[in-house]
Structure 1
Amino acid sequence: MPITGPIVVATDFSTRSDRALRRATIIARQSGAALVLAHVVDDDQPRHLVDHQLAASRAILDETVETIERMDGIAARAQLLAGDVFSGILQIADDVAAGLVVVGPHRRQLRDVFMGTTAERTIAHSRRPVLMTAGVPSAPYDRVLVALDLDQASRAAAPLVQELELVDRAEIVAMHAFEVPGQGMMRRAMVEPDLILDSVADAQTEAQSDFDALLADIGLTGARKITMPAHGSPGRRILESARDEGASLIVVGTSQRTGIERFMLGSIAETVLGDADRDVLVVPAR
């Protein structure tokens, strides 16, 4: 199934947002989706400056749209707003019924999209997949690491991952980082190392069985599987696995109960989105 709705790519005309535009163009070519270039002028400044920036931004956007259509053969248009930058991007995504939102790698402002108070107000209400382009785009994704938990959110999010054309031709690696009950307490109590290893082995056996059942339930039985102890930092384990596997994209799901807000405000988000050296796709639960 192709991406339903256009791809909204946020641009601030920087070289970093050029990376997002390039990745969005690759995905649009794969999926047949249209592009919407989204730019928001900060309205917290004198009106004459806002008007000047709107006019200048419109000229740049129109020129970029014309270039994309002429050089890449992709349907494209631009949306321009004045207002709060991050709320504006999500407003544009809602206005055009976007199937995917693409943002550039985290400089200070873009990192705030995910971790600042603005994110808590805006992305918390988004039900659209968001792709952060930390890698250098040169080709379609060839290997995708899908980080899954054993909860209802994974059951809801994983089918959407398979439907998105941007991972349609990629090798899928399904990963689960499990916690070992009482491991920290056993270490502090100076329990024999062999007993701790036995506990880890038992936890891995149980996690593998549960993970196999999850993958069968969500239709990912063809994926290569990885299960490993989280050792207190699932985010670090996700990043390590992505590097070890040579994944060009990391996919994470969000809590069904509180949506993207719960993921974004957690330590996993701070680690994966803050430290990723490759693209990260955040898929909200349905």
Structure 2
Amino acid sequence: MSEPILVATDFGARNDRAVDRALQLGHQLGRPVVLGHVIAGQAKEVEGQALHAMVRGCLPDPDAAVDFAFCHGSKVGVALAALAQDRRAAMIVMGVARFHSIGDYVLGTAVDHVLRNGDAPVLVVKQRPHSPYRKIGVASDFSDISRDALLRAAALFPEAELHLIHAYRVPFAGWQKAEQVKDQVYEAEAKVLDAFLANLPMPVTARLTTHMAYGALPKAIGQVIAEKGIDLLVLGSHGESGFRHATLGSQAIELLRTSAIDTMVIRPAQK
């Protein structure tokens, strides 16, 4: 059996989008779906039949082909990360805790822990899943970690368009306003891009469109997302030091929090 998609739920309505997306992905990618629920703290275990009924009740189709996994833990994120490792999940799908306004999402402690400690890619679902992901944007700083994120995203979504997005800026732009300086920076970054592309396998480059976006990371990437209709953003992150030291820098955290589209965080593959 192929590696499953693990989707977390606490039976709350805010997790409905994540559950719906996981089911859609299971159908699209031909992977089984495991719906995981953590029984927190010292709460008494609900009777098996009643618990299964609660889980079935949060599915769009109560008869959907879904496996259930229940575990105990005082810390939901810790329990989910362990469950994903035990099930050898291909990805972990989670919803945001809440949002204050459009473009201001609160991830929550469970999502934060899984992002920093889970081995599998983590998909944070923000939008209702009306269709499969068709255009995937991968934010890149041309590092090995962003290369790994690109390759794993390509493997997870073999039919989707791939868009590599690199944001760049002129150092000390306030003192260097000449357009010539901007052109020089672009040329230098373009050479690094060419070297990065030369190190990718042909099946990936054949599906890949590159974008050199000028400006601060969140704004520059957001513009490409809007212009190209990208529906999934992928970020790479360091494994050893956790997501808060993501290779794209501290702005990556802001990008994950404010991006209006679904976002996947991929840590380096374990050797």
The TM tier, using the shorter chain, reads 0.7 to 0.9
Question: How has the CA–CA distance of structure 1 residues 9 and 61 changed in structure 2, closer, same or farther, with 3 Å as cutoff?
Answer: same
The residue that corresponds to 1:40 in the other structure is 38
- TM-score, length-normalised on structure 2? 0.84
Match of 2:143 among 137, 144, 151: 151
CA distance in 2, matches of 1:250, 1:4: 24
CA distance in 1, matches of 2:5, 2:120: 11
Q: Are the aligned partners of 1:204 and 1:228 in contact in 2 as well (CA < 8 Å)?
A: no
Superposition RMSD on alpha carbons, in Å? 2.9
Match of 1:130 among 107, 122, 140: 122
Deviation at 1:10, TM superposition (A): 0.8
User: 1:146 corresponds to which letter in structure 2?
Assistant: V
The residue that corresponds to 2:205 in the other structure is 221
Question: How has the CA–CA distance of structure 1 residues 98 and 247 changed in structure 2, closer, same or farther, with 3 Å as cutoff?
Answer: same
Question: How has the CA–CA distance of structure 1 residues 266 and 59 changed in structure 2, closer, same or farther, with 3 Å as cutoff?
Answer: farther
Deviation at 1:24, TM superposition (A): 0.4
Secondary structure of the residue that 2:197 maps to in structure 1? helix
Q: Are the aligned partners of 2:166 and 2:213 in contact in 1 as well (CA < 8 Å)?
A: yes
The correspondence of residues 1-286 of structure 1 with structure 2, limited to 5 A, is 5-43=3-41, 47=42, 50-51=43-44, 57-61=51-55, 67=61, 70-71=63-64, 74-107=65-98, 111-113=107-109, 119=112, 122-164=114-156, 167-184=157-174, 186=175, 193=177, 195=178, 197-219=179-201, 220-222=204-206, 223-230=208-215, 233-255=216-238, 258=241, 260-263=243-246, 266-286=249-269
CA distance in 1, matches of 2:2, 2:164: 24
Q: Are the aligned partners of 1:239 and 1:276 in contact in 2 as well (CA < 8 Å)?
A: yes
Q: Are the aligned partners of 2:145 and 2:247 in contact in 1 as well (CA < 8 Å)?
A: no
Q: Are the aligned partners of 1:156 and 1:285 in contact in 2 as well (CA < 8 Å)?
A: yes
Instruction: Show structure 1 runs of 5+ residues with no match.
Output: none
- TM-score, length-normalised on structure 1? 0.80
Q: Are the aligned partners of 1:143 and 1:247 in contact in 2 as well (CA < 8 Å)?
A: yes
* Bigger proportion of residues as strand: 2
Residue correspondences, number? 260
Secondary structure of the residue that 2:72 maps to in structure 1? strand
Q: Are the aligned partners of 2:121 and 2:264 in contact in 1 as well (CA < 8 Å)?
A: yes
CA distance in 1, matches of 2:27, 2:137: 22
Q: Are the aligned partners of 1:127 and 1:260 in contact in 2 as well (CA < 8 Å)?
A: no
Question: How has the CA–CA distance of structure 1 residues 265 and 204 changed in structure 2, closer, same or farther, with 3 Å as cutoff?
Answer: closer
Query: Stretches of 4+ moved more than 4 A in 1?
Result: 52-58, 62-68
Q: Are the aligned partners of 2:136 and 2:232 in contact in 1 as well (CA < 8 Å)?
A: yes
Deviation at 1:65, TM superposition (A): 7.3
Deviation at 1:262, TM superposition (A): 1.7
Deviations, residues 148-194 of structure 1 (Å, cap 9, x unaligned): 11112122222111110xx222221111012323324x1xxxx5x3x
Deviation at 1:84, TM superposition (A): 1.0
The residue that corresponds to 2:102 in the other structure is none
* Bigger proportion of residues as helix: 1
Deviation at 1:51, TM superposition (A): 1.1
CA distance in 2, matches of 1:91, 1:80: 10
Secondary structure of the residue that 2:211 maps to in structure 1? strand
Q: Are the aligned partners of 1:145 and 1:251 in contact in 2 as well (CA < 8 Å)?
A: yes
Deviation at 1:42, TM superposition (A): 2.7
